[in-house]
Amino acid sequence: MSLDTMHELFLEELKDLYSAEQQLVKALPKLAERVTTPSLRTAIESHLRETEGHVTRLETCFGMLGEKASGKKCKGMEGLLDEADDLADEHGNDAVRDAGIIAAAQRLEHYEIAAYGCTIAFARTMGHQEAVTLLEETLSEEKAANEKLTALAEEEVNQHAFAASTAAHGSR
């Protein structure tokens, strides 16, 4: 495909996001199963439900443009999910692994925040206000998920991980 118009670029971005969100719908339940911190599991499961809504909003955007909802494999999300999966498979202290999973999940959120921000800018430039509204709703949820992960890390998980690792290995 060539990118000769902003419309084509906008569609490419929507396809990338659609693929990314679909990958997350498949990956988040597996990630939730592997964490040991109940509040982190709840946050991941809650974001899964939001992510399912993100897929629906993207399908609506495609429909508004008269296009069939389809994804073009999002290699960025695929790589980030591979890293998260590898981290979740590591052996060791559960609390420390949960802290690492939060870091991996925040990388996922930051990827989405950047992608939605750019896609919104393209939609706004072309006057697709209905798409802007839908995409901004998703962007807001992505930012909130990131903030929730930050709070979980700072107020609970990182402290438990540090205490557990210090108890097991001293103060290094």
Is the distance from CB of 113 to CB of 139 less than 8 angstroms? yes
Tens of pLDDT, residue by residue, the chain (172 residues): 578 999 999 999 999 999 999 999 999 999 999 999 999 999 999 999 999 999 999 999 999 999 999 888 999 999 999 999 999 998 889 999 999 999 999 999 999 999 999 999 999 999 999 999 999 999 999 999 999 999 999 999 999 989 987 876 665 5
Q: Say what the pLDDT of residue 82 is.
A: 96
Q: Say what the pLDDT of residue 32 is.
A: 95
Give pTM, 2 decimals.
Answer: 0.92
**What letter represents residue 88's amino acid?**
A
Q: Tokens 């609970």 appear where?
A: 156
For residue 116, being part of any structural domain is answered with: yes
For residue 159, being part of any structural domain is answered with: yes
Instruction: Please report, to the nearest 10 degrees, the dihedral formed by the alpha carbons of residues 15, 76, 44, 71 taken in order.
Output: 20
Range of the structural domain that residue 97 is part of: 6-169
Q: Identify the CATH number of the domain in which residue 87 sits.
A: 1.20.1260.10
Q: How many domains does the chain have?
A: 1
For residue 1, being part of any structural domain is answered with: no
For residue 50, being part of any structural domain is answered with: yes
